[in-house]
Structure 1
Amino acid sequence: MARQTINNAKLGAFVLGGLLFLILLLYMIGRNRSLFGSTYLLKARFENVQGLIPGNNVRYAGIQAGTVKKIDILNDTTIEVSMIIETKMENIIRKDAITSIGTDGLVGNKVINIVPGRSNAAIAIEGDLLATKKALDTDEILNTLSNTNKDVAIIVSGLKSTVERINNSSALWTLLSDETIPADIRNSATNIRLATSKASMMTNDLHAIIGDIKDGKGSAGILLKDTAFAYNLNEAAMKMRSVGVQADNLSTQLNSLVSGIQNDINTGKGPANSLLKDTSMVNKLNKSLDNIQMGTDGFNQNMEALKKSFLFRGYFRRQEKQKEAAKRLP
């Protein structure tokens, strides 16, 4: 009887210890899931929760901050996630914090990551809706990697074909085995170096010319920098313009004169018509010229007669002597 009592006591102690352990385990699990202790509620809205379920962790800057309470579908493009946040984060999470859906490890459970905002916004309170950021979708990444692998396979196939063609090309190997090519390449490099040196010298000369022009040296410098030369050039241009205007006026006057003469000729009036078309006027002019010629001949004869007259002979001899004396003077 005493032995049975001892066994019952041991069994009761074992059961009691098991219950205490179970209670402690449930408490720890509940604490981890924010089932116990003071909490408050924050919300976030996503287009795609990517397999997120209630009970998943919520982390703030990588620190465990709460759990997902529930997920509600508001419409065909919006899903609202309610998060239970521990009160120790009540003075830390602000209204401008940004939430996104991530993965716990590479292929672990989904978690909600809360990233602090960049401004000093007000503290988030019960029921506030936090901003969200679209997270990378693992399926999209895998699809992109699959497409990339296909492209890489195509590129590798093309490279393989190119390498095979290069290996089967005798002309290429002949070109590569030609011993004169390195010397030709060195000569080409030397020529390029010389050309570069000459180009550098030309650039320096051009820089010096431009410097002289800026300093007002040389004809180009004077032309561009000397204000007096520019003023003289402007004066010359104005004079040339004035001469051009006068030439235009003279041309206009000549045109007017020619037009008047042409009009006189066409109408039969004026001296031009008489000189060019009036035959009687021409005859009169010819007679006048003949009379002048006859008068000149008579005058010459009279002068010869006067030279031989005893009254003027001495005068003309003195004139001849003076001329001869003037000729003999150096």
Structure 2
Amino acid sequence: MEATENRKAIIVGIFLALGLIIFIVGVLTLGSAQKTFNKSIHITAVFDDVAGLKKGNNVWFSGVKVGTISDVRFTGPSQVDVKMSIDEASQPYIHHDAGVKIGSDGLIGNKIIVIEGGSPHAPVVQDGDVLQVEKVASTDDMLKTLQQNNVNLLAITKDFKELSHKILQGKGTVGALLADSTMGIQLKNTMKNLETTSQSAARMAVQLDNFGKKINTKGGLADKLLTDTVTFNKIQGAIAQLQKTVNSASELTQNLNTASRKLTTTDNAIGVLLNDPKGAEQVRTSLNNIQQSSIKLNDDLEAAQHNFLLKGFFKKKAKAQADSLKKAAGGK
């Protein structure tokens, strides 16, 4: 009897020992999975909507689990503060400008926090830092977008159905083209004429290009005008001379016009002779009188020379003129 009780006690002791061992191993395993016994830092991110995120969910960085969510709580209207416990060994690789977003562990798995980005030049994240949240479209947003796209697609399908029906009935330009063979032939001819015009325009473009190349040919007139300053200066000088000639011709024309106007007036001798017959006759009479007076004066002077009273005077004057001529000849 006593041996049986001892055996039961031993069996119970063995089961208790096995249970204790299993409990300790489970705690160690669970703690290792949750990184409970590892040194860690705490960082925070503030979300408008955590989409079902809860305490204990994992935190991933570059595809590696680096921590867990230690707390989720409200801090204000539409503001949810999510505190993360990050393994201290991962701290040197996470920088302060890294972004935080909510993801899923698989297609329909638990929600997780994903840390990504960050510049190597930025400081390393420290305990108590707050990371910037990146906006990610939720499943509801995607479903709303898909639903709106379905509505738009339905409207487009409806419009296209009505359009195709009108086309088959011959309505509109496209329907008329499909139903009216005459209009189709006219459109075909129009397109042919347009093609001919396009070809002509292409040929004209080639001709203009050739003309431009000829103008730009080295040694040509355009090339000399643009590059040869001597030729350009000669042409400029010729233009200046031509301008002077034009100005001189204009001035000569003006003078001739002035002279012509004076010839048509009677305020000058020539004008009187040309336009006033009576005045011209008076001028001719005066000229005749002057000529007659001159002849008479010559006769009087001739007579005076033979007068014995003035004969000595004219001899002295003639002698003085002869002496002057001799002196002039001797001086030479």
Task: Sort the TM-score into its range (normalised by shorter chain).
Answer: 0.5 to 0.7
Structure 1 position 12, deviation (Å)? 4.1
Q: CA deviation at 1:147?
A: 0.9
What is the letter of the counterpart of residue 239 of structure 1?
Answer: Q
Q: In the alignment, which residue of structure 1 is the partner of 2:234?
A: 232
- CA shift, 1:65, in A, is 0.5
Deviation at 1:182, TM superposition (A): 12
The equivalent of 2:40 in structure 1 is 39
Is contact 1:65-1:85 (8 Å) kept? yes
CA distance in 1, matches of 2:154, 2:55: 42
Q: Superposed, which structure 2 residues align to 1:262-273 within 5 Å?
A: 270-271=268-269
Q: Distance in 2 between matches of 1:249 and 1:184?
A: 67
Instruction: Read off the aligned partner of 1:243 and give its amino acid letter.
Output: T
User: Helix, strand or coil for the counterpart of 1:100?
Assistant: strand
TM-score norm. by structure 1 comes to: 0.65
CA contact (8 A) 2:102 2:114 kept: yes
The 3 A distance-change label for structure 1 pair 192 and 67 is: same
Unaligned runs of 5+ in 2: 290-332
What is the DSSP-based 3-state SS (H/G/I as helix, E as strand, rest coil) of the residue aligned with 1:129?
coil
Q: Which residue of 1 aligns with 2:59?
A: 58
Q: How many residues align?
A: 287
1:58 Cα offset (Å): 0.7
The offset of 1:60, in angstroms, is 0.7
Structure 1: runs of 5 or more not aligned: 292-330
Q: Secondary structure of the residue that 2:131 maps to in structure 1?
A: strand
Which of 276, 282, 286 is residue 284 of structure 1 equivalent to? 282
- Whether the 8 Å contact between 1:216 and 1:224 is mirrored in structure 2 is no
**Cα distance in 2 for residues equivalent to 1:258 and 1:233:** 37
Matched residue, 1:135: 136
Between 187-196 and 207-216, report the one with greater CA deviation.
187-196
Q: AA paired with 1:235?
A: G
Residue 108 of structure 1: how far off its partner (Å): 2.9
Task: Please name the residue that 1:309 is paired with.
Answer: none
Aligned partners of 1:216 and 1:225 also within 8 Å:
no
1:120 aligns to what? 121
Provide, for residues 150-173 of structure 1, a one-character-per-residue CA deviation record: whole Å limited to 9, x for no partner. 101111122222333445559989
CA separation of 1:40 and 1:264: change in aligned 2, threshold 3 A? farther
Q: 1-side partners of 2:189 and 2:9: how far apart?
A: 107
Amino acid paired to 1:284 = Q
Residues 207 and 170 of structure 1, relative CA distance in 2, 3 Å threshold: closer
Q: What SS is found at the alignment partner of 1:90?
A: helix
Instruction: Map Cα deviations across residues 51-71 of structure 1 (whole Å, 9 max, x no partner).
Output: 322222110111110011223
Partner of 1:210: 212
Alpha-carbon separation, structure 2, partners of 1:193 and 1:168: 31
- Deviates further, 228-237 or 159-168: 159-168
Structure 2 counterpart of 1:33, one-letter code: Q
Q: Structure 1 residue 114: deviation in Å?
A: 1.0
Relative to the length of structure 2, the TM-score reads 0.65
> Corresponding residue for 1:21?
22
Report how far residue 130 of structure 1 moved: 2.7
Q: Match of 2:107?
A: 106
Checking the alignment, whether the CA contact within 8 Å between 2:46 and 2:82 is kept in structure 1 is yes
In the superposition, relative to structure 1, how do residues 117 and 214 fare at CA in structure 2: closer, same or farther (>3 Å)?
Answer: same
Equivalent-residue separation in structure 1 for 2:255 and 2:81 (angstroms): 100
Q: Percent identity?
A: 27
How many angstroms apart in 2 are the aligned matches of 1:15 and 1:166?
A: 88
SS at match of 1:52: coil
- CA distance in structure 2 between the aligned counterparts of 1:188 and 1:280, rounded to whole angstroms: 86
1:38 Cα deviation after fit: 1.7
1:28-69 Cα shifts (integer Å, max 9, x gaps):
333333333221112233344333222221101111100112
Q: CA RMSD in A?
A: 4.6
Aligned AA for 2:67? Answer: G
Deviation at 1:116, TM superposition (A): 3.8
Instruction: Using the TM superposition, name which of 66-75 and 147-156 deviates more.
Output: 66-75
Q: 1:297-317 CA distances to partner (integer Å, 9 max, x unpaired)?
A: xxxxxxxxxxxxxxxxxxxxx
Quick one: distance in 1 between partners of 2:244 and 2:24? 118
